[in-house]
Amino acid sequence: MPPCSAKNNNRLSDSMTRPNEHHVPSRRQILGFVFASPLFIAAGTGTSVLFCSGAHAATSPQGAADFVQWLADQALKVLRSPNASMSDRERILRELLASGFDLKFIGRFVLGRTWRKLSPAQRDAYIKVYSTFFLNTYSARFGGYNGQKFTVLSARGAGKKDAVVKTRIDRPGGAPLTSDWRIRANQNEFRIIDISVEGVSMAVTQRSEFASVIKNSGIEGLMAALRARTDKMPVMTSN
Amino acid sequence: MKYLKRTRPGSPTQLVAVALLVIAFGHTATTAKADFAAGVVAYEKADFITALKEWTAAAETGDAKAQYNLGVLHDEGKGVDLDHSAAVKWWSMAAKNGLAVAQHNLASAYIAGDGVKKNHRKAGSWLQKSADQGLARSQYTLGKMYGYGMGVPKHDAQAAFWIGKAAEQGDMRAQYNMGKILRDGKGMEKNLAESVDWFIRAAKQGHVRAQAKLGKRYAAGAGIKRNDVMALKWSLLAAQNGNVAAIENVKTLKRRLSGKSITDASRQARLWTPIQENN
Dump the DSSP string for chain A: ---THHHHGGGHHHHHH-GGGGSPPPHHHHHHHHHHS---PPPSSS-----------S--HHHHHHHHHHHHHHHHHHHH-TT--HHHHHHHHHHHHHHHB-HHHHHHHHHTTHHHHS-HHHHHHHHHHHHHHHHHHHHHHHTT--S-EEEEEEEEEETTTEEEEEEEEE-TTS--EEEEEEEEEETTEEEEEEEEETTEEHHHHHHHHHHHHHHHHHHHHHHHHHHHHHT--------
> Using CA atoms, how far apart are residues A78 and A93, in angstroms rounded to an integer?
8
- B111 closest CB neighbour out of A228, A236, A239: A228
Q: Which of B92, B42, B135, B37 is nearest to A144 (CA)?
A: B42
pLDDT tops 50 at residue B64: yes
CB distance B243–A143 less than 8 Å?
no
- Contacts of A30 by beta carbon, 8 Å cutoff, 6+ apart: none
Give percent of chain B with pLDDT exceeding 90.
Answer: 80
In this prediction, residue A198 has a pLDDT band, given cuts at 50, 70 and 90, of confident
* pLDDT at residue A55, as a whole number: 41
Q: How many CB atoms lie within 10 A of CB B11?
A: 11
State whether residue B8 is helix, strand or coil: coil
- The verdict on residue B248 lying in a domain is no
* pLDDT at residue B18, as a whole number: 60
CB distance B150–A143 less than 8 Å?
no
Query: Which residue would you say has higher pLDDT here, B237 or A43?
Result: B237
Amino acid letter for position A80: R
pLDDT tops 50 at residue A22: no
Is the domain defined by A5-230 classed in CATH 3.10.450.710? yes
Q: Measure the CA dihedral B178/B180/B181/B184, to 10°.
A: 160
pLDDT tops 80 at residue B218: yes
The arithmetic mean of pLDDT across residues A73-96, rounded, is 85
* pLDDT at residue B251, as a whole number: 97
Over chain B, what is the mean pLDDT? 91
In this prediction, residue A46 has a pLDDT band, given cuts at 50, 70 and 90, of very low
User: Please, are residues B195 and B182 in contact by the beta-carbon 8 Å criterion?
Assistant: yes
pLDDT tops 80 at residue A146: no
User: Cα distance from B44 to chain A (closest Cα, Å)?
Assistant: 5
* pLDDT at residue B13, as a whole number: 67
- Contacts of A172 by beta carbon, 8 Å cutoff, 6+ apart: A147, A148
- Taking the Cβ of residue A174 and every Cβ of chain B, the question of whether any pair is shorter than 8 Å is answered with no
- Taking the Cβ of residue B29 and every Cβ of chain A, the question of whether any pair is shorter than 8 Å is answered with no
- The verdict on residue B5 lying in a domain is no
Cα-based distances in Å from A115 to A61, A214, A223, B167: 31, 11, 13, 31
User: Please, are residues B107 and B141 in contact by the beta-carbon 8 Å criterion?
Assistant: yes
- The verdict on residue B67 lying in a domain is yes
* pLDDT at residue B10, as a whole number: 54
> Using CA atoms, how far apart are residues B90 and B69, in angstroms rounded to an integer?
8
In this prediction, residue A89 has a pLDDT band, given cuts at 50, 70 and 90, of confident
How many domains does one find in chain B? 1
* pLDDT at residue B47, as a whole number: 86
In this prediction, residue A7 has a pLDDT band, given cuts at 50, 70 and 90, of very low
Sheet holding A177-186, edge to edge: A149-158, A162-170, A177-186, A189-197, A200-201
In this prediction, residue A16 has a pLDDT band, given cuts at 50, 70 and 90, of very low
pLDDT tops 80 at residue B22: no
Cα-based distances in Å from B35 to A186, B97, B273: 50, 18, 41
- The verdict on residue B213 lying in a domain is no
Instruction: Give pLDDT tens digits for B150-184.
Output: 999 999 999 999 999 999 999 999 999 999 999 99
Chain A residues in contact with B46 (beta carbon < 8 A): 79, 86, 89, 143-146
- The verdict on residue B153 lying in a domain is yes
The arithmetic mean of pLDDT across residues B18-45, rounded, is 75
- The torsion angles phi and psi of A149, rounded to 5 degrees, stand at -110, 130
Instruction: Give pLDDT tens digits for B126-145.
Output: 999 999 999 999 999 999 99
A–B interface: beta-carbon pairs under 8 A: 84
- A229 closest CB neighbour out of B36, B72, B112: B112
CB distance A237–B113 less than 8 Å?
no
Q: How many CB atoms lie within 10 A of CB B189?
A: 8
- The verdict on residue B266 lying in a domain is no
* pLDDT at residue B14, as a whole number: 66
* pLDDT at residue A145, as a whole number: 67
- A239 closest CB neighbour out of B36, B141, B244: B36
The arithmetic mean of pLDDT across residues B78-98, rounded, is 95
The arithmetic mean of pLDDT across residues A30-56, rounded, is 34
Q: Containing domain of residue B158, as a range?
A: 19-169
> Which residues does residue A150 pair with via DSSP β-bridges, in sequence order?
A169
The arithmetic mean of pLDDT across residues A205-233, rounded, is 92
CA-based nearest residue in chain A for residue B63: A239
The arithmetic mean of pLDDT across residues B212-223, rounded, is 97
Chain B residues in contact with A172 (beta carbon < 8 A): none
Q: Where are the domains of chain A?
A: 5-230
- The verdict on residue B247 lying in a domain is no
* pLDDT at residue B29, as a whole number: 64
* pLDDT at residue B92, as a whole number: 98
Q: What is the CATH number of the domain that holds B90?
A: 1.25.40.10
* pLDDT at residue B41, as a whole number: 92
> Using CA atoms, how far apart are residues B10 and A233, in angstroms rounded to an integer?
49
B 160-189 → A contacts, CB under 8 A: none
Query: Which residue would you say has higher pLDDT here, A1 or B18?
Result: B18
CB distance B46–A143 less than 8 Å?
yes
Chain B residues in contact with A232 (beta carbon < 8 A): 72, 75, 104-105, 108
Instruction: Give pLDDT tens digits for B233-276.
Output: 999 999 998 888 999 999 999 999 999 999 999 999 999 999 99
- The verdict on residue B39 lying in a domain is yes
In this prediction, residue B23 has a pLDDT band, given cuts at 50, 70 and 90, of low
Window from A152-161, B13-22, B238-247, B259-268 with minimum mean pLDDT: B13-22
Instruction: Give pLDDT tens digits for B67-84.
Output: 999 999 999 988 888 899
* pLDDT at residue B12, as a whole number: 65
CB distance B105–A224 less than 8 Å?
no
ipTM: 0.81
Measured between its terminal Cα atoms, the distance across chain A in Å is: 34
User: Please, are residues A49 and A143 in contact by the beta-carbon 8 Å criterion?
Assistant: no
- Taking the Cβ of residue A225 and every Cβ of chain B, the question of whether any pair is shorter than 8 Å is answered with yes
User: Please, are residues A15 and A57 in contact by the beta-carbon 8 Å criterion?
Assistant: yes
CB distance A85–B242 less than 8 Å?
no
Chain B residues in contact with A135 (beta carbon < 8 A): none
